[in-house]
Amino acid sequence: MPENKGWIKLYRKLIDWEWYKDPKMVHLLIHLLLMANHEPHKWEGITVQRGQVVTGLSSLQKATGIPIQGLRTCLSRLENTGELTSKSTNRFRIITICNYSTYQVTDLEDNNQLTNKQKLLQLNSQYELIANLAENYSIVAFENLSKINKQINKQENVVSADQLRLYKKKISDANKQTNKQLTSKQQATNKQLTANKNVKNDKNDKNEKKKESNFLFEKFWQAYPNKKARAECLRVWNSPTGKFGQILDGQKPDEKLVDIMIEAINWQKQTDGWKKDKGKFIPHPTTWLNQGRWMDKPPELPKRKKLSEMGLDDDIQAEAKEVFG
C-alpha cells in the first residue's frame, strides 16, 4: 500500500471528463489515483503493479464516505467508460487504473517526452525535406523515408493535418513516378533479356545446324572416291549462294538428299568412265556437287535375249526353260 507521502499530478483536462459534474465519481477517481502504487510492490504474496490499488468496498466506504451502493454504481461506470478494470477475490479487490502513466508521468518520463518531442520536430523537418526531395528525386528520397514515416504517423499531432496531407501527397506522387520509372526500366531489361535469349537461341540453332551439316558432309566425303580439295568442297557444301546452293534453293543438304547422293555415287563407281585408268576421270567433288550429278540417271541394263534368239538347239532350249523358267 502506498505511503501518505509525495503528491500526484492532476491535469486540467479532467474538467472535460464526462463524469466531472458528478461529485462522487470525481471523488472516487481522485481517491484511487492517490491510493494507487506509483511503483510495483509485494503484498501478501502478490505483486501489486504500478497504477493498481488493493482495496474493498468497506475500505472505500470508510475512506470516501460514499455508500456501498453508490460505490458499486461509480465503479461500474468507471469500468464501462474504460477508466479502470476491477478483479475481485474472496478477500479483496484489485483495481487497475487504465492509462495510469498518462495521468502520473514521472520527472524522467517528462524529460523523455520533451526529448521525444524535439526528436519528432526534427523528424518533421526531415519529413518535409524528404517529401520535397521525393517530388524531384523520388528514388533517392525513398531510401530514407520509411524509417521516419512510421514514427511521424505515430505522433501526427507534431505535424499539422494540412502539412501531413501535403507531405503524403508528395510522397504518393513521387512513389507513382518511381514505380513508373522502375516499370519502364524493368520492361527495357526484360526486352533486352528476351533479345539476348533469342540471339543465344539463334546461335545455338545455327551451331546445331552446322554440326548436322558437317556430319552429313563427312558421310558424303567418305562415300566419294575422288578425295581432293576437302576444304574447298566443304565451303561449297555450306554455301547457300554458290551453284550447289542454288540447285538446293539456298537450303542445306539433308539426310535424305545425302542418301540419294551416296546411291548415285555407288552406281557411278561401276561405270566405265569412273573405272577407266584407275579412276582418273572421276569428277572433282566440287564439280560433281555444282553440276548436280546425283540427279544423273543410271544407264539402262541391256535387254535379255530370248532363248529362241540365241540360236540354241531345241533340246538345249527346253532344258534351259526348265532351269531358268
**DSSP calls for 92-135:** -EEEEETTHHHHS--HHHHHHHHHHHHHHHHHHHHHHHHHHHHH
Q: What is the mean pLDDT of the chain?
A: 76
Domain range for 158? 107-192
Residue 109 has pLDDT above 80, yes or no: no
- 134 and 171 both lie in a single domain: yes
- d(CA 261, CA 305) in angstroms, rounded, equals 33
- Does the predicted model carry a pTM greater than 0.75? no
- 63 and 144 both lie in a single domain: no
The predicted model gives 246-266 an average pLDDT of 91
197 domain residue, yes or no: no
Q: What Rg do the C-alpha atoms of the chain give, in angstroms? A: 53
3 state SS of 10: coil
CATH of the domain at 38: 1.10.10.10
Residue 46: strand pairing partners: 43
Backbone angles phi, psi at 19, to 5 degrees: -100, 15
Could you give the angle at which helices 230-238 and 161-223 cross, rounded to 10 degrees?
130
pLDDT class of 140 with cuts at 50, 70, 90: very low
pLDDT of residue 175: 66
Q: What is the pLDDT of residues 24-73, one digit of tens each?
A: 988 988 888 888 887 888 888 788 888 888 888 889 999 999 999 999 99
pLDDT of residue 17: 84
- 92 and 138 both lie in a single domain: no
pLDDT of residue 312: 58
Q: What is the pLDDT of residues 168-192, one digit of tens each?
A: 666 666 666 666 666 666 677 767 7
71 domain residue, yes or no: yes
Residue 100 in contact with residue 62, Cβ under 8 Å? no
- 263 and 285 both lie in a single domain: yes
Residue 221 in contact with residue 230, Cβ under 8 Å? yes
Q: What is the pLDDT of residues 76-89, one digit of tens each?
A: 999 888 888 888 88
- 84 and 114 both lie in a single domain: no
